[in-house]
Amino acid sequence: MAKEHTLLSTEIVNRGVESSGPDAGSPTFSVRVRRRLPDFLQSVNLKYVKLGYHYMISHGIYLMTLPVLIVIFGAEIGSLSKEQLLQKVWEEASYDLATVLAFFAVLVFTISLYITSRPRPVYLIDFACYLPPEENKVSKEEFITLARKSGKFDEASLAFQSRILKSSGVGNETYMPPSVFAPGVNCATMKEGRAETSAAMFAALDELFEKCRVRPKDVSVLVVNCSLFNPTPSLSAMIVNHYKMRGNILSYNLGGMGCSAGIIAIDLARDMLQANPGGYAVVVSTEAVSFTWYTGKRRSMLIPNCFFRSGCSAVLLSNRRTDFRRAKYSLEHIVRTHKGADERSFRSVYQEEDEERIKGLSISRDLLEVGGHALKANITTLGPLVLPFSEQILFFAALLYRHLFPTKQSAATPSASTNAPYIPDYKRAFEHFCMHAASREVLDHLQQNLDLTDANLEASHAVLHRFGNISSSSIWYELAYLESKGKVRAGDRVWQLAFGSGFKCNSAVWRAVRRVRKPTRSPWLGSIDRYPVGN
C-alpha cells in the first residue's frame, strides 16, 4: 500500500463559484488524484544493468585486451635503451629476414582483416523537416472555434479539450490539416490520408535530396514509418513511384509502432546498410493527423486531438567511408526497450472504437507510470554504454552496497530510503537532449527524474510549443532547433529518446563529426528568435 501511495500525486482544482443548489455563491474545490512517473531513485532493475554491460563488453572486448598487450610490450621495450633496441632489431632482421617479413605480413593481414570485418560506421549526412503551409496554422482559440463549427462535438467535449489545451504546453502556431474541421465530413478517408501524407513526405524529401545533392535513384534502402495510416500500396511504394526509384531498392513500411517508430526505422536502416554496404538509406517519419482525429465523447480518446499535429522528417544515412567528410553525425548506439508483455503497458495507448463505434486512440491513465518503467529499463541499459567511467563506478558501488546491506523502508516515509541506488548524471554523458515532446507533463516528469535542467529540455519544450506533438518526427525537429541555435559543435553527443505504443522506449545516440553550422533551410526560420519561450 505504501509503495502504491508513492506513485500517486494530488492536485487541488478550483472549480469556480457554485451557481445553484444549497452552496450557491460559494467557491468549490475538488482534489484530483493521478498516477505520476515512478521515482527512479527507489528501484533499479539489476537485469537491465547486466544487459547494458553485456552490450558494452560484446562490442568492446578489444578495450580489455589491448591495454594488457600494450603493458606487456611496453615492459619489454622499456627495459632496453634506444641503441640496444636498434641493435636488437638489426640483429634479428639480419639473422632471419624471412621471419621478419613473415611477421609483418601476418601483422598487415590481421589488421586488414580486422578493419574489413568490423561494422562500417553509419553517418547521418543531413535531414529535413516539413514546414506545413501557413493556411494550416491553428491557434488554441481557433482550434475550439473550428471544432465547434464542425458540429462534431458537444459542449462538454469542447470544454474538456479546451481545459487540456490550456495546460498542454502547445502554442498558438501549430499546424493541422483543414479536413479535420470540415463540417459533417469523415476526415479519415483514404483520399484525405494520401493527400496529407504525400504533401508532407514529398516536401521533406525534395528538400533532403536538394540539400544532400543526392539523386533518388542513388538510394538503396527506404524505410517509412507512419503509425495509423497504412494504405495499399504502402507509403514507401508511394515514394518509390513518385521519385521513380531503382527497381532493386530495399523498401520497408512500418505501421502501428507509435511515436518511437522513428528510432526503430533508423535501427532497421542501419542493419540494412551493414548487410548491403556502400549505399544510401532514407528514413521518413510522419503521421496522418486526420487518422488520429476523434469526434466522439470518450475523454480518454479526446486527449490526442489536443496534442497531435502535422509534421514529417526525412533523414539520409550512409555507411560509405568517403562520406565522413560531409556527414553531420555518426551513429553510436541504439537501445530499444519493449514492455508489450505487460498487459497494462500493451493497452496504455490503444486504438479502438467507443460505445458509438467511433474509432479513436485511447490514452490510459496508467500511461505515465507505464512510460516511467519503460524509460527506467531503457536508460539503465544505455548507461554502461555512454556514461563516463567515474559515474559507472559510483553507480556500481552504490548498487553493490544496496544489495549487500539492505535496509527496511518505513511505512510512514517510503521515499526516505537510505540505500537508494545512485542515479548517474546523464548530463556528463550527453551535451544535447532530444526528448520526445509528448506533453508538458511528460517533459516535467522526465526533467525531475533524470535531474535535467531547463536548458537540457529547451529543444523539447520549444518543439511542443511551436509544432505540438508531431509523433515520431519530433526528435528531428528538436535536433533542427539545436542546429538553428548554433549549439552543436564537433564531438558533441546527442541523445534522442522517444516513447511509443506497445509500450516502447527507444534511444539513439549520435556524435557530431564536425561543427554544425546554422542551416539555411529549416522549419525554425522566422521563429527561432522567439525561443525559448521565457525570452
Measured in residues, the chain has a length of 535
The identity of residue 51, as a single letter, is L
The identity of residue 390, as a single letter, is S
Q: Where does residue 258 fall: left (phi above 0), alpha (psi -120 to 50 degrees), or beta otherwise?
A: left
Query: Which superfamily is assigned to 123-401+424-530 in CATH?
Result: Thiolase/Chalcone synthase (3.40.47.10)
Supply the pTM of this predicted model.
0.80
Catalytic residue list contains 506: no
3-state helix, strand, coil in the chain (%, to 5): 45, 20, 35
At residue 189, the pLDDT reads 87
Residue pair 269/219 in contact by the 8 Å Cβ criterion? no
**Max avg pLDDT among 75-84, 266-275, 386-395:** 266-275
129, 187, 226, 259: which is the annotated catalytic residue?
259
Domain regions of the chain by residue span: 53-118, 123-401+424-530
Catalytic residue list contains 319: no
Q: Where does the pLDDT of residue 380 fall: very low under 50, low under 70, confident under 90, or very high at 90 and above?
A: confident
Tell me how far apart the alpha carbons of residues 360 and 349 are, in angstroms, rounded to a whole number: 10
338, 373, 445, 461: which is the annotated catalytic residue?
338
pLDDT more than 90, % of the chain:
52
Q: Where does the pLDDT of residue 14 fall: very low under 50, low under 70, confident under 90, or very high at 90 and above?
A: low
Quick one: which of 404, 408, 207, 170 has its CA closest to 309?
A: 170
Catalytic residue list contains 259: yes
Quick one: which of 450, 446, 388 has its CA closest to 423?
A: 450
Q: Cβ of 403: how many Cβ atoms within 10 Å?
A: 11
Task: For residue 165, give every residue at least 6 positions away whose Cβ sits within 8 Å of its Cβ, in sequence order, or none.
Answer: 140, 143, 144, 306
Residue range 154-213, pLDDT digits in tens: 999 999 999 999 989 999 999 999 888 888 777 788 999 999 999 999 999 999 999 999
Mean pLDDT of 98-115: 71
Tell me how far apart the alpha carbons of residues 311 and 477 are, in angstroms, rounded to a whole number: 9
Helix (H, G, I), strand (E, B) or coil at 15: strand
Tell me how far apart the alpha carbons of residues 472 and 506 are, in angstroms, rounded to a whole number: 11
At residue 415, the pLDDT reads 43
- What is the strand order of the sheet 329-338 is part of? 250-254, 219-225, 280-286, 312-318, 123-129, 329-338, 504-512, 493-500, 432-435
253, 319, 469, 506: which is the annotated catalytic residue?
469
At residue 404, the pLDDT reads 75
333, 432, 445, 461: which is the annotated catalytic residue?
432
Residue range 47-69, pLDDT digits in tens: 555 555 555 544 455 555 556 65
226, 305, 465, 506: which is the annotated catalytic residue?
465
Q: Where does the pLDDT of residue 2 fall: very low under 50, low under 70, confident under 90, or very high at 90 and above?
A: very low
Catalytic residue list contains 465: yes
Q: In terms of DSSP bridges, do strands 174-175 and 137-138 run parallel, antiparallel, or are they unpaired?
A: antiparallel
436, 445, 456, 506: which is the annotated catalytic residue?
436
Report whether pLDDT(532) > 80. yes
Catalytic residue list contains 59: no
Specify the range with the lowest mean pLDDT, choosing from 80-94, 380-394, 433-447.
Answer: 80-94
- The residue written with cell numbers 543526392 in the block is 214
Q: Which cell numbers hold the place of 83?
A: 641503441
**Max avg pLDDT among 215-224, 401-410, 411-420:** 215-224
Tell me how far apart the alpha carbons of residues 10 and 397 are, in angstroms, rounded to a whole number: 35
Cis peptide before 233 (omega within 30 of 0): yes
Tell me how far apart the alpha carbons of residues 47 and 257 are, in angstroms, rounded to a whole number: 25
At residue 407, the pLDDT reads 62
At residue 211, the pLDDT reads 94
The H or E element spanning position 150 is helix 140-150
Report whether pLDDT(447) > 80. yes
Catalytic residue list contains 305: no
Residue pair 409/5 in contact by the 8 Å Cβ criterion? no
Q: Where does the pLDDT of residue 248 fall: very low under 50, low under 70, confident under 90, or very high at 90 and above?
A: very high
Q: Where does the pLDDT of residue 247 fall: very low under 50, low under 70, confident under 90, or very high at 90 and above?
A: very high
Report whether pLDDT(143) > 80. yes
Q: Which cell numbers hold the place of 519?
A: 542551416
Q: Is 351 exposed, middle or buried (0-12, 13-18, 19+ CB in 10 A)?
A: middle
Q: Which cell numbers hold the place of 261?
A: 517508430
Residue range 464-516, pLDDT digits in tens: 999 999 999 999 999 999 999 999 999 999 999 999 998 999 999 999 999 99
The H or E element spanning position 283 is strand 280-286
